[in-house]
Structure 1
Amino acid sequence: MQTKRHRGSFMLRLMVFGFSVAVGVLAFWLLGYIVRDIDRVNGPNYTQMLESQLPQELQDERRLLTAQLSELKQRIAATERRRQLTSQTTRDSQQTINQLLELKRNADENETSLSDGQQQALTDSLRLFLENQNQIQTLNAELSSLNDQLDQLQDDQEENTKAVERASRPIRYEYDSLLQRHQWRLAAYKLAVLIPLLLIFAWLFVRHAGGAYSMLVYAFGGAVVIRVLLVMHDHFPAIYFRYILILLSLAIATGVLVRLLRLMARPSRDWLVRQYRESYAHFFCPICDHPIQRGPLKFAAWTRRSLKKQTPIAVDGDWDALDQPYTCPCCETTLFEKCETCQGVRHSLLPACEKCGAGQGSASAE
């Protein structure tokens, strides 16, 4: 006797689905931590390789030029600030001189003279103005010299950079080779953890697909499969990953198609019962899809699209007189027959009689 599988209530099915998603997310999260821990394995260090393999004179020259450029830029900035302060003092002195000259002009027009204090202020302002002008010219000359030195140092630094690039080119090639080798090593470490889990999932999928623990298997398996694909995407070259992904998808699609074709050629009992049940419920022959015109529907006509619009037909008289054995006139399949146990009319293609509950062939088995 086949064990019946109970579907459970809607809330129970919803909780099973929710916890299955939670298990899958947590498993994916856990595998992500494992993968990130593997990523902590130290790989080649480009800076250390440069320091150990680059000619020492180029490194010393680069450090010296960097220090000289930094010092020179600081001197230029300080000189520029001094020039700005001197320029501001010069503008203030010029404004004072203009005011004193305006006073002197008014005094000359009135045939008077400036006081000794005003005359001394005018003299001091003129002296300060001339000194500031000379200082500004000196600072401008100093800034020009510093900028020339800056241009020369930048040219020297550019030449040093080109020389460093030429000298570091083979080091860069070696670093890229070591880095690629390190990436392959990390991929091997990660796949060494994930591939056994993937094989376990494949075995569980074959053994428990459609079983009581199928949702648990799907949750863990989905997390492992997605993590494997992410690892391959991160470490495999794009051209390899593209082919691997296409071949994997082709293998999965082919496997599903073979399973479907096998199911159509040799359908399982549960699949047949589900198909027969749906066809009987919609009053269509499970074999050829012809409408089952029996009882009150003897002279009715409908399609699957118009079935929901049909008005229920009231039954007058004895239903037992209408409930008679029935054979599909299109494919000659017996759809309703007499039960061997209770002699009532039952569905021929369903496993149990709706009147007495007897299974097919139960009377002959007794």
Structure 2
Amino acid sequence: MSLLHQIALSCIPGIGSILARNLISYCGSPEEVFVTKKGHLSKVPGIGPKTLELIRNHTAFERAERELCFIEKYKIQALFLTDNAYPKRLKNCFDAPVMLYFKGSADLNTGKVISIVGTRKSTEYGKDICRELLAGLKKHNPLIISGLAYGIDFLAHKEALKNSMSTIGIMAHGLDRIYPQQHRSIAEKMITDGGLLTEFMSGTVPDRENFPKRNRIIAGLADVTIVVEANIKGGALITADLANSYNRDVFAYPGRINDEYSSGCNHLIKTNRANLITKLADLEYILGWTGSQTQSATNQQLSLAIDLSAEEKIIADVLLNKGSIIVDELAILTGFPQSKLAAHILGMEMKGVLIGMPGKVYKLA
């Protein structure tokens, strides 16, 4: 599949994530989008005369060629929605970006991914919580996601690196710049042990409207979003709402009722949009991360001694081999339709063989 056509599709004005998905689904590939007759394209939901003309506008290819030169020069990984390396958790979100640009070393599909967000004007209370949280998470070795902004974001990245955990900053601009500039040194460290990720091409500046788009990636990449400290109108609450819309777990640390920078967290908890967290054990209990995080192959084989059907054994064998796996990938590897797979998963959960985790991830009990 042509990377030039993939990038070009993302360059067309007015074609967002959802419409691009529709076009690819209808035409079969990005290349076909550009050669399919107008009469056929007009049948795609959301495509009007103006968009049809834009698809035929070859300036998209000119822009894509410049971007291709940029990513090749700076060794940036371009990830299209259908690529195997595209983050699977994000792919499950209805508005996932068609293109992602990544510079770093982290595995975007690693077993545990946590987003940590909060106010840019963090207090000592919030800073202490963040340090304690990251130190405790070290034993689980998750990938830490945040937005490289001032305050809680910066501290989450800093403490993740301090505790030898990979961390990725999600950018609201292209990878030809760092914003804020003061965070360049930590961003460079993150590229070595984590990375920088964006949906925006080089030359894109950090305009205000880009940050809510950035926040959906922060929410969609992770199993769980943790709000450490936030104002009721802060961007952290937008991220929390997005995580809820993706059916992901959200946690929030409570604060004093008259504290401006805890008002957002208190509101999330009060409105049942976030689980209350006061210590790491709260998160471990709700996510099922309690107890030993490793299990011997012998014990796993013993757990499979329960009477399983032939198809359930196929599922169990995949889980035994993979450890933990997102449901979409499980469907591909087993060859079962989603409806049949869902029924088997429910039955195996009731037998105590299988455990469901955030982000539609499953593993053996």
TM-score band w.r.t. shorter chain = under 0.3
Tell me the TM-score normalized by structure 2: 0.18
Structure whose residues are more often helix by fraction: 1
Larger strand percent: 2
- Which entry has the higher C-alpha Rg, 1 or 2? 1
